[in-house]
Amino acid sequence: MTDLAFLSITEAARLIATRQLSPVELTEAYLTRIEALDHLLDSFVTLTAERARAEAKAAEATIMASGPISRMHGIPYCLKDIYETAGIRTTAMSKLLADNVPTRDSFCQEKLVAAGGVLLGKNATWEFAHGGPSWDILFPPARNPWNRAYSPAGSSSGSATAVAAGFAPATLGSDTGGSIRGPAAACGISGLKPTYGLVSRRGVIPNCFSHDHAGPLAWTSEDLAILMQIISGHDPEDPGSANVPVPDFTAALTGDVKGIVIGVPVSWLEEDDPPKPATKAGFDAALEVFRGLGCSVRPVKLPPLRQFDDAKKTIAVAELFTIHAKDLRSRPEMFGASLRYRIIAGGLVRAEEYINAMRMRTDLARAMQGVMETVDVVMLPTSEPAGKLEPVPPSSLFTRSSFTTPFNVGGNPALSVCCGFAENGMPFSLQIAGQLFDDATVLRVGDAYEKATPWRNQRPFLAVTETA
């Protein structure tokens, strides 16, 4: 058997179902690895080892008696520390929530518990999933397992780090402008921002409620499909939740993408924010793989990238201020400098300006759906490969554009997968966005790409002898 810590959910579930692997053994493998190596990466802020051992033991007993109840039964996972967990501290990395112990699980955590998953702990994030990286908040920022001097991006940074490092096969993050896809890209794993409304945000500490999405990160798109099957579904307690049928995500992974039409937003890549030559070359090589699989590629024209950023960030700064107004007025020193800078000006945004930004968002979302009707998926790089982990001027939030934010504005499903490695060893990333509520096609395309390329065979190396 291969190293247990590097089993995918798919592989581990098969071994557990056939009694070749014990959930207790698998859980111990992850706990041992986390305890030996996470001091190098700071991907966990809370480890729930005793709970995990108890859940694994219970799962093992049930599986031995009557078989697994889901493909996550007996499988360890972790959660970004903005997912509320009953009886377990949930901090959002903020000094304001240092002692916050929720009394109820988030919707997604309830689903994972019901599926028989084994909670290993809570992952590092940027403060309130928005400001970072920061060194003046409750915990240090996570580091990139491909090179500890590099950033895992944010804000689901600890989540992506944990999966890439072999600390857990599954985790949940959140994505308001790219916070699942960016860290997935930086850490060379797979991350899905589902269609807005497909996964409930109930019990997920908000960033900006009009653009927040909850979603999974894992080593492969196939594993994301397993997680999506468990966490998707209508929740009347989330006003944004959609009451739509949940497809069979795993059954959709046929491996066949022949005939798929891929749109490439050429103006974004050539005029608005051209990627670096190596990143563009990696993207072009990925398109060639899809042509070889029988897909066609055509240019599409979307509104300028900056318009998406202007609308989303104007809305976000106003919503964030509203959420944190009381604390910003009474104890602003409790926020990290990065987050405070990024939200405090939201108090000065007038209602007319917020509403005009919302109107612009509606126009942009319509334009996005108009283009999406002409293709099956849109592809582009998720981001540049990760840079060094170092303080970033907080003003950059307002001045730099992003390839991920447009799909938050549109609400479309968007997946990031690894598409190779740069000369310095850091992963390249491919973003695959789809039509609203067609997350299954997005996962099918990502899965076909991962199975047609060698990138899932390469893992970061962490030596136990290294010191922090």
Which residues form the catalytic set?
80, 155, 179
Point out which span in 106-114, 163-171, 306-314, 379-387 binds other proteins (CB under 8 A). 306-314
Other Cβ atoms closer than 10 A to 87? 11
Q: Give the tokens for residue 18.
A: 């056939």
* 348 part of the interface to other proteins, by CB under 8 A: yes
Pairing of strands 261-265, 377-381: parallel
Residues 385-404 that bind other proteins (CB under 8 A): 394-395, 398-399
> How far apart are alpha carbons 41 and 348 in whole angstroms?
38
- Nearest approach, Cβ of residue 363 and other proteins (Å): 8
Residue 303 in the binding site for other proteins (CB under 8 A)? no
> Which helix (DSSP H) or strand (DSSP E) does residue 46 occupy?
strand 44-47
Closest approach of other proteins to the CB of residue 321, in Å: 8
Q: Which is nearer to other proteins, 73 or 342 (CB)?
A: 342
# residues near other proteins by CB under 8 A: 40
Applying CB under 8 A, which part among 77-85, 221-229, 355-363, 448-456 lies near other proteins? 355-363
For other proteins, the binding residue among 71, 181, 193, 313 (CB under 8 A) is 313
Burial of 284 by CB count in 10 Å (0-12 exposed, 13-18 middle, 19+ buried)?
Answer: exposed
Whichever of 214 and 360 has its CB closer to other proteins, that residue is: 360
Q: How far apart are CA 463 and CA 190, in angstroms?
A: 24
CB–CB of 368/409 below 8 Å?
A: yes
**Is residue 359 at the binding interface for other proteins, with CB under 8 A as the rule?**
yes
Q: Considering the rule CB under 8 A, would residue 353 count as an interface residue with other proteins?
A: yes
Kindly tell me which of 151 and 314 has the beta carbon lying closer to other proteins: 314
Say how many CA atoms lie within 13 Å of 257 toward its Cβ: 30
Say whether 250 sits in a helix, a strand or coil. Answer: coil
Q: Please, what is the minimum distance in Å from the beta carbon of residue 227 to other proteins?
A: 23
Give whichever of 145 and 394 is closer to other proteins, judged by the CB atom.
Answer: 394
Question: Measured between alpha carbons, how far is 462 from 457 in angstroms, rounded to an integer?
Answer: 16
Q: How many CB atoms lie within 10 A of CB 19?
A: 11
| Residue 209 C-beta: closest distance to other proteins, Å | 12
Instruction: Choose one: 63-71, 143-151, 245-253, 303-311; the region binding other proteins (CB under 8 A).
Output: 303-311
- 211 lies in the site for other proteins, by CB under 8 A: no
Taking the complex as a whole, the smallest distance from the CB of residue 338 to other proteins amounts, in Å, to 11
CA-CA distance, 230 to 71, in Å (whole number)?
A: 9
Alpha carbons within 13 angstroms on the beta-carbon side of residue 377 total: 28
In angstroms, what is the minimal distance from the CB of 138 to other proteins?
20
Q: In sequence order, what are the beta bridge partners of 173?
A: 215
**Rounded to an integer, what distance in angstroms lies between the CA atom of residue 7 and that of residue 1?**
9
Token duo for residue 418: 């690894």
Q: Which is nearer to other proteins, 276 or 366 (CB)?
A: 366
What are the backbone angles phi and psi of residue 363, rounded to the nearest 5°? -60, -45
- Which of these ranges, 222-230, 249-257, 312-320, 431-439, lies near other proteins under the rule CB under 8 A? 312-320
Residue 412: exposed, middle, or buried by beta-carbon count in 10 A (0-12, 13-18, 19+)? buried
Give me the least distance between CB of 114 and other proteins, in Å please. 17
Considering the rule CB under 8 A, would residue 334 count as an interface residue with other proteins? no
Nearer to other proteins, 298 or 359 (CB): 359
Residues at the site binding other proteins, with contacts judged by CB under 8 A:
234, 236, 239, 243, 306-307, 309-311, 313-314, 317, 321, 325, 328-329, 332, 337, 340-342, 344-349, 353, 355-362, 394-395, 398-399
